[in-house]
Structure 1
């Protein structure tokens, strides 16, 4: 085994333990990873249960679903029509109701391993599927290339094609959206995988994976006879379940491989920087675990596990063959890693191999820590690998806040009382089932979100009712729901009560709530958007239940479902966002606080309303404010412009709207902003 030649095995163990600890801090402790996964799982359960038969199902996949939160990682999403099903042979058609299910037959007879044609068997009402149909040999097939082009920009209008996905950037995050088809059966081409699973994974995992089938994504094999029509079999669902079944050391090894690819391998030369991807790293760790090349995966031999995977990768590049884990006959190097590029990549990897473990020094995430331990190994006799000793409660809590945020899938977003009832019933059923503490937290926050959305929906329904009694009852119910939501929501959730009071013209009551919220938001231990004074936070709420921590010390953005009117001044922005397929508006909590304060005082004391406007202006103009994230700058400038326009300062409003346009990535409220700019230009030209 190739290690640092001048150090003993004991020294190597120290280095392995140090890198293990560093990876825990970079990737997450086992507790953090479990929380991320369980939070995503329970959100998906709710989503699936409330999705209509003719609705759209979506699944988070890739590294985010596996539990990673690495900086710069993209977000991978998969979408499919719930009433479309792929079958592997005609005999499976009897299991489906053809009256409400579109059946599609997988025909892989002429396709390379891992790819197939999709033949449309029964009529479809989906216009994109209809438009993507082509005739071959008197049969109707769905063209992957046409379908990909048609669906690329459904989720985000500015998307571009990227492999089988539509790719877009929101703020600093890159998204990949894959529109696909689902199959309830395990593909015959991957049947050998089941027989190969002797040591890993466990039989329960195998059965779960096989029972849940696979997907088909819209991309063909460029060397196949029907590249534009073929679809690739996707095992994304199986893959995240395999990653779930890894122990923490194996998972961190996978994380180290991803970092090593990004920070070392892809930095060797421009010619080879895009030949390998994280999927190759995932494939390497899968094969290494299943073939039992490394019998013991633990902190003490952490780097030994990494080295096993690196040597496997080197072997594959030398041979020009990277066997897909589920269908080994599918060589994933076929399209890129061949010829001169393959030779160049092998030379670079072999040079790293000859350096032994010192090649890790080239990683800016890991290298400095290894250097530190090498220079101080005589003074360090013990490395503490107990995760609980090097991560604080506030870090865990910040993680819980992020992961327990509502799941903004259109299936869960409140649209009408019927759909809300379905979501609440689903949550009620889940509460009665065995849940982890983490999943209870997620359902708690989701319930809070549903309650305050329902309160405004009810108010909107009865605003123009001629029956005073109905309005009175709806008002009482709405207020009760808002109070209940605030009881187990964030500190900032009380602003929904203030919004409700403002919307129902009770300005003094709204201001009373705003003042109370101000006091809570001014506490030095407040956690907002991951920012927190750890010592003060621990001193103030350490040891309290998570529910009490939420109510006393945590604030988050104000989230408005765009199909519900929360505040009339923002109706144009919500309508614009709907046009751009954005289901929600997220508004920084302090921006909303000063906005509401300004609006309420306009009806009571204009002097104080101007003071609130100045506070809002200072907040928005502050370029590095921790209270206004980059992704929320557009709506923040927009709100400032609205206030300035209300006060009769069109020039200041015009500047704010222009700043809003500049910061809109993506342009979710562009139509509203341009309309407001047009109104100002028109009004000033007539003066």
Structure 2
């Protein structure tokens, strides 16, 4: 629901964001990457061009001499020179090159590697696919509309999928003569809508199926990467279409799972896995053959011989979370809270949308207006709270884009001051601490050091041991608190505001980040700051006392800052690219603090430690500070 809210509200001048993969389907699988599709608004794809007037770049599709599930995009109209340069001549006609299209996004920020039709980062945690959209349905998938007769999917769901159309992603058939100008047809949004129709048993079966693939099948080095989760999803769709929805009950979970497993074995044995929407497209064609196929088939048959017990080969299954207090039953919303706070993918996703995607003030304002409109129109309080959380993220960004120092006179500056302050006050509802620290940072930039000190002290008073942050799981105390009726009545979003502590995130050119952290203009440096909340609170107190010439208090706060970093207090301990940057930024803050006190050697050691933890010159400010 949180992902759907984001996708509905996200605005970008040139692209529409679509969260896909396991995370977009509502499954936060351990070790999964974050799959995001960016759909172009400036380019349209059509199967039948019914007009001679176009206000956008248009590509009619041409599937002549292509493998089922793929198409050529022949240029019909454009007034954009960049698009024209991405076209190549084939048989005397201009076709859109998937290689040139993808290349124009490669190297932007952290996207440095090719991964199929996607671009990925160094750590393989992000998969971003830039793609094109057709609003009309594709003729080659017409049989799907009338094929099912077991009431799944429903007529309404089918119509919704048809109304969305399809996507074209930049990848051709490997080894094809015209691979560069072939585009794969994608039904990612339709597939996500189908997953959303799954009942609990279907979703559980699908999740277990994927866990067995990731944790058991792919652990064999010789079988690794022979199967992908998309094959399993396709099999789930076929089996779901064949069975009546009434069959999928908790009592039949095991038989349904084993039916899907048998279908997988059949597909591997006969090297056939028809695409769900376009069955003529065999997903296993030229994929698994020879010795690899025999080895995979042997392993699958061995696993199947264990019946449903094969799932216990997965460490995720055998490590089911139990209550730390045997006298208290596991409470559903407590487990959900624990999973949300410690979700690696959600942490990456929220960081990507909060800091990773740079937007103009107009774009942010449009996001904000849509969020307000959604909150006013929605009747469900649960969905309203999700929108309010998303609105808080928008306010977090908007407050940092408002320039507080201008030459337009005191009246305008006073207006900017109040506008920024109002956004920051709306931002305090996202979690229990970081919103207050952003407010303290605002007053620090306004040289109101006493107010900033009061706010940091208040924020630190809320950082008690039972609070949660990424990497810390529910303690015995908090579990007992969650069993109280007062907490059980609260929704997940309300609980996140009470017990969750997140990073302090500063966007590039932030108007409220301390000037001591600003490096300066550099086109080869992406200056963002993800600082653990407690680290930033102590760092801000060092700065305030330094400006107030409180030497003793300044040194005491510096000692607190050192202890916080060395003890890892409220600093994530597991590896996430974002967390690694946050740890490095903690040492950067310590280095800056030492510089203020004139301890150059201590500062140098802190910056070296930051580089050791995060050796990324494009993102880590320590490289610039030591140069």
TM-score normalised by L of structure 1: 0.81
1:39 aligns with 2:2: yes
Partners of 1:325 and 1:250 lie apart in 2 by 17
Q: Which residue of 1 aligns with 2:565?
A: 620
| Higher RCO structure (Cα 8 Å, ≥6 apart) | 1
1:89 aligns with 2:48: yes
What secondary structure sits across from 2:428 in the alignment?
helix
Within 5 Å, give how 1:205-244 maps onto structure 2: 205-222=157-174, 224-244=176-196
Aligned-pair distance for 1:339? 2.7
Give CA-to-partner distance per residue, 1:468-514, whole Å, 9 cap, x none: 23333433443344334436753331112211111001111111111
What secondary structure sits across from 1:518 in the alignment?
helix
Partners of 1:362 and 1:227 lie apart in 2 by 40
Within 5 Å, give how 1:48-87 maps onto structure 2: 50-52=11-13, 55-87=14-46
Change (3 A) 1:418 1:344: closer
Give CA-to-partner distance per residue, 1:45-84, whole Å, 9 cap, x none: 111xx433xx122211111100111111111111232111
What secondary structure sits across from 1:58 in the alignment?
strand
1:141 aligns with 2:95: yes
Change (3 A) 1:413 1:266: closer
1:663 aligns with 2:613: yes
Q: Which residue of 2 aligns with 1:422?
A: 366
Aligned-pair distance for 1:148? 3.1
What secondary structure sits across from 1:555 in the alignment?
coil
Change (3 A) 1:154 1:627: closer
Partners of 2:19 and 2:292 lie apart in 1 by 33
What secondary structure sits across from 1:527 in the alignment?
coil
What secondary structure sits across from 1:542 in the alignment?
helix
Partners of 1:296 and 1:312 lie apart in 2 by 17
Change (3 A) 1:131 1:435: farther
Partners of 1:451 and 1:631 lie apart in 2 by 23
Q: Which residue of 1 aligns with 2:506?
A: 560
Change (3 A) 1:90 1:368: closer
TM-score normalised by L of structure 2: 0.88
Partners of 1:301 and 1:131 lie apart in 2 by 56
Aligned-pair distance for 1:351? 3.2
Asked if the contact 1:110/1:225 (under 8 Å) is kept, the reply is no
Q: Which residue of 1 aligns with 2:216?
A: 264
Aligned-pair distance for 1:400? 5.6
Q: Which residue of 2 aligns with 1:494?
A: 436
Aligned-pair distance for 1:310? 0.8
Partners of 1:364 and 1:255 lie apart in 2 by 14
Q: Which residue of 2 aligns with 1:595?
A: 539
Change (3 A) 1:146 1:85: same
Asked if the contact 2:172/2:182 (under 8 Å) is kept, the reply is yes
What secondary structure sits across from 2:181 in the alignment?
coil
Give CA-to-partner distance per residue, 1:150-174, whole Å, 9 cap, x none: 43333524x211211122245xx62
1:251 aligns with 2:207: no
Aligned-pair distance for 1:208? 0.6
Partners of 1:346 and 1:299 lie apart in 2 by 29
Aligned-pair distance for 1:276? 1.0
Q: Which residue of 2 aligns with 1:395?
A: 335
Asked if the contact 1:558/1:587 (under 8 Å) is kept, the reply is yes
Aligned-pair distance for 1:271? 3.0
Change (3 A) 1:536 1:650: farther
1:513 aligns with 2:455: yes
Q: Which residue of 2 aligns with 1:316?
A: 267
Asked if the contact 2:60/2:73 (under 8 Å) is kept, the reply is yes
Aligned-pair distance for 1:571? 5.4
Q: Which residue of 1 aligns with 2:57?
A: 102
Correspondent of 1:467 among 399, 409, 426: 409
Listed as ranges, the gaps of 5+ residues in structure 1 are 1-37, 370-387, 679-687
Change (3 A) 1:150 1:472: closer
Asked if the contact 1:156/1:580 (under 8 Å) is kept, the reply is no
Q: Which residue of 2 aligns with 1:178?
A: 129
Partners of 2:452 and 2:500 lie apart in 1 by 21
Aligned-pair distance for 1:114? 0.4
Partners of 1:480 and 1:60 lie apart in 2 by 30
Deviates more, 1:489-498 or 1:505-514: 489-498
Asked if the contact 2:539/2:593 (under 8 Å) is kept, the reply is yes
Aligned-pair distance for 1:552? 4.1
Give CA-to-partner distance per residue, 1:559-580, whole Å, 9 cap, x none: 222242222435535866x855
Count of aligned positions: 604
Asked if the contact 1:216/1:232 (under 8 Å) is kept, the reply is yes
Asked if the contact 2:355/2:506 (under 8 Å) is kept, the reply is no
Q: Which residue of 1 aligns with 2:323?
A: none
Give CA-to-partner distance per residue, 1:75-129, whole Å, 9 cap, x none: 11112321111111222x46xx623x110111111101001111121125363x4
Partners of 1:526 and 1:188 lie apart in 2 by 54
What secondary structure sits across from 1:72 in the alignment?
coil
Listed as ranges, the gaps of 5+ residues in structure 2 are 321-327, 574-578
Aligned-pair distance for 1:187? 1.3
Aligned-pair distance for 1:225? 3.9
What secondary structure sits across from 1:228 in the alignment?
helix
What secondary structure sits across from 1:266 in the alignment?
helix
Asked if the contact 2:431/2:502 (under 8 Å) is kept, the reply is no
Correspondent of 1:274 among 221, 225, 243: 225
Partners of 1:418 and 1:333 lie apart in 2 by 46
Partners of 1:241 and 1:665 lie apart in 2 by 41
Partners of 2:406 and 2:140 lie apart in 1 by 61
The CA RMSD over aligned residues, in Å, is 3.0
